[in-house]
Structure 1
Amino acid sequence: MRITLDRRLPANHAARALRADAEAALTQRPKTLPPKWFYDEHGSTLFDRITRLPEYYLTRAERQILNAHADETARLTGARTLVELGSGTSTKTRVLLDALTAAGTLKLYAPVDVSAATLDRAAEAVCRDYPDLRVAATVADFETDLALPEHPEHPGPRLVAFLGSTLGNLDTEARATFLGRVRAELTVEGDALLLGVDLVKDPNTLIRAYDDDQGVTAAFDKNVLRVLNRELGADFDPGAFDHKAIWNAEAERIEMRLRARVAHRVEVPALALTADFARAEDLRTEISVKFRREPLTEELARAGLTVAHWWTDPQSRFAVLLATPS
């Protein structure tokens, strides 16, 4: 078998995690929900549309950088294992798979995601398109379980890819914890981290990327309310909220929020709770931190990682960096 699937999450993990996150969000001030609950099937379809919107430059800019530097990355790392955190459908990583297999080093692809079904489909597609490659998929939540999979025949060096500016969804404390865990796992000689991050730029450009003219991002944001209704029996009315994308200049991050149009009450039977929303009260659904080179380099250094290479697109909107253990 060229495909293995290691299930590190219990079958009820998603249901339990959603209940815990929803209860915390609706009983605290300010109300804050993690962005991972956007991505049910409909939410994933909406996000795929977002990545093709003219305002949403992030995916195109990152792909442009990877296309320009994938061969260089393959040469610099000589990776025999490519680990991808939050791999999803594994489509964005094809340029790295192509470069590493062309270089003749890659033997193992190790995607990590919370969805077993998504991993199954992605692993089959990768095995079909890369007949000499093994796939060791892991069902895990990288925020809490970061044990990097190894294959006894091909232990390393390993290239850990964390793309899509997902690092920006973590606040300062959570980033420090996450980067420290990554560094602790980079134990094989030659191991490295490939990180994609969005950069600070004109706030209007940033706001447009998260509040497009077609309203796709607004639908994506409100979809989380439908997830809560379906999974927890809640009675959220998506029409009672407005989607807002706000630039927090002090924290240098975009915040997506659902703002109550009127004061109202929401019942959540599965949690046996009632949540009151004041008029204009926000439910924050996502943060997306934007980075500058020097502060991010310092963050990585505190975690024990050295930036070896820093690449941007021609407009310097986005960066992909290669970091190695210090």
Structure 2
Amino acid sequence: MVPLSLAKSLASSPRSAEQCSADEATALFRADVLYGLSQPQKAVPPKYFYDEAGSRLFDLICRLPDYYPTRCELEILKARAAEIGALAGPGASLVEFGSGSSIKVRLLLDAMAAPAAYVPIDISGPHMRAAVTRLAEAYPGVAMVPVEADFTQSVRLPPLEDGRRVGFFPGSTIGNFTPEAATAFLAHVGDVLGAGSALVVGFDLAKDRAVLEAAYDDRQGITAAFNLNLLARINREVGADFEPSAFRHRAFLNGAESRIEMHLESVRQQEVSIGRHHFAFARGETIHTENSYKFSADAFLAMVRHAGWRQHAVWTDPKGWFAVAALERDGEGR
């Protein structure tokens, strides 16, 4: 991610997905998997969750009763949409890092004065294009410019109108990075958007262990299916021979690091092969698939300042479980 190692951020790829053919993207996926499974703590970057099946499962997760981040963030965005629209100004382009819920995007587009363009950047092309097709019907006056790319890498925006560029990074995805990696990513976003831009970013706040663990290990088993789908994708695209039934989903709060960790735990001793590469798993050994850091508002804003942004506003839901920050970057925009 950006210039960051997999060891720090659970993500790696030396090149931008927008620079890669399908074959090259598969080769990068394979390289990331081989590298991650070769580490003392086996790991696979969470960006690979989001194939078509994974994206559908994540949409279902966002509707679960115990998964509070989506509801809390929507509550904040609905209450503050007018302020975000005023921050954007007339004729702005909305650039979303990750093609998320179209409900959130609609709230912002509705609040913006004559938005010029919507630019989603996402590694999951089919899911993104389907969402853009629906939005294009609802907003015929807004240019829809999807970019299929790994937004953590070097991304070049397409030509846009002269209004302000407003980044949108909702859903607490910033928590998938270590704090150091998150700071670097926020600086990267500033470079992509340019001087004078704004950024609206959601981040999860530290809270009770029971609330957090229920959100990432739902009783319906949808998060487990989402996590295990990663193995099915590795089998299909990389040529591995994982038996998904030989692994189980684990999610727990690492209190010392203030993060939820997701793992896939081997339920027995086994060996997995990818071509000539063989990986032994002891019973109970895990593949670390995701971190989700939980921040204090002060810690998050200190990180933001180090990344070259300044605070415009920070809003929370009534329970104080989730926050949305509106940030600005100095300098004259386009």
Q: Calculate the TM-score normalised by the size of structure 2.
A: 0.88
Q: What's the offset of the Cα at 1:65? A: 0.8
Q: What's the offset of the Cα at 1:261? A: 1.6
Provide the C-alpha distance between the structure 2 equivalents of 1:137 and 1:164, rounded to a whole number of angstroms: 19
Provide the C-alpha distance between the structure 1 equivalents of 2:122 and 2:103, rounded to a whole number of angstroms: 13
Deviations 1:69-96 (A, max 9, x none): 1111101221511111111564431111
Residues 140-155 of structure 1 aligned to structure 2 (within 5 Å): 140-151=149-160, 154-155=161-162
Match of residue 292 from structure 1 = 296
Match of residue 134 from structure 1 = 143
Match of residue 161 from structure 1 = 168
Match of residue 3 from structure 1 = none
Match of residue 323 from structure 1 = 327
Q: What's the offset of the Cα at 1:186? A: 4.1
Does residue 1:312 correspond to 2:316, yes or no? yes
Provide the C-alpha distance between the structure 2 equivalents of 1:232 and 1:8, rounded to a whole number of angstroms: 20
User: Quick one: structure 1 residues 201 and 89, their matched pair in 2 at CA, closer, same or farther if it must change by over 3 Å?
Assistant: closer
Higher mean displacement: 120-129 or 16-25: 120-129
Higher mean displacement: 292-301 or 236-245: 236-245
User: Quick one: structure 1 residues 211 and 118, their matched pair in 2 at CA, closer, same or farther if it must change by over 3 Å?
Assistant: closer
Q: Do the aligned residues in 1 keep the contact of 2:309 with 2:329 (CA within 8 Å)?
A: yes
Provide the C-alpha distance between the structure 2 equivalents of 1:42 and 1:136, rounded to a whole number of angstroms: 23
Provide the C-alpha distance between the structure 2 equivalents of 1:49 and 1:118, rounded to a whole number of angstroms: 14
Higher mean displacement: 79-88 or 305-314: 79-88
Letter of the 1:257 counterpart:
H
Does residue 1:244 correspond to 2:256, yes or no? no
Match of residue 115 from structure 1 = 124
Q: Do the aligned residues in 2 keep the contact of 1:176 with 1:303 (CA within 8 Å)?
A: yes
SS at match of 2:146: strand
User: Quick one: structure 1 residues 13 and 67, their matched pair in 2 at CA, closer, same or farther if it must change by over 3 Å?
Assistant: farther
Q: Do the aligned residues in 2 keep the contact of 1:89 with 1:121 (CA within 8 Å)?
A: no
Match of residue 11 from structure 1 = 22
SS at match of 1:255: strand
SS at match of 2:104: coil
User: Quick one: structure 1 residues 120 and 46, their matched pair in 2 at CA, closer, same or farther if it must change by over 3 Å?
Assistant: closer
Deviations 1:243-287 (A, max 9, x none): 111111111100001111222111122xx2000011211111111
**Partner of residue 87 from structure 1, selected from 86, 99, 104:** 99
Match of residue 259 from structure 1 = 265
Match of residue 199 from structure 1 = 205
User: Quick one: structure 1 residues 292 and 149, their matched pair in 2 at CA, closer, same or farther if it must change by over 3 Å?
Assistant: farther
Deviations 1:165-197 (A, max 9, x none): 1111112332122111122334343x1010011
Does residue 1:180 correspond to 2:187, yes or no? yes
Letter of the 2:242 counterpart:
F
Provide the C-alpha distance between the structure 2 equivalents of 1:276 and 1:144, rounded to a whole number of angstroms: 31
Q: How many residues align?
A: 313
Contiguous gaps of at least 5 residues in structure 2: 1-16
Instruction: Point out 4+ residue stretches in structure 1 off by more than 6 angstroms.
Output: none
Letter of the 2:31 counterpart:
A
Provide the C-alpha distance between the structure 1 equivalents of 2:302 and 2:180, rounded to a whole number of angstroms: 14
Q: What's the offset of the Cα at 1:63? A: 0.9
Letter of the 2:170 counterpart:
L
Does residue 1:105 correspond to 2:114, yes or no? yes
SS at match of 2:152: coil
Q: Do the aligned residues in 2 keep the contact of 1:146 with 1:181 (CA within 8 Å)?
A: no
User: Quick one: structure 1 residues 107 and 181, their matched pair in 2 at CA, closer, same or farther if it must change by over 3 Å?
Assistant: same
Match of residue 34 from structure 2 = 23
Provide the C-alpha distance between the structure 1 equivalents of 2:116 and 2:122, rounded to a whole number of angstroms: 20
Letter of the 2:187 counterpart:
G
Q: What's the offset of the Cα at 1:213? A: 1.1
Letter of the 1:83 counterpart:
V
Provide the C-alpha distance between the structure 2 equivalents of 1:58 and 1:297, rounded to a whole number of angstroms: 19
Provide the C-alpha distance between the structure 1 equivalents of 2:63 and 2:33, rounded to a whole number of angstroms: 30
SS at match of 2:319: coil
Q: What's the offset of the Cα at 1:40? A: 2.0
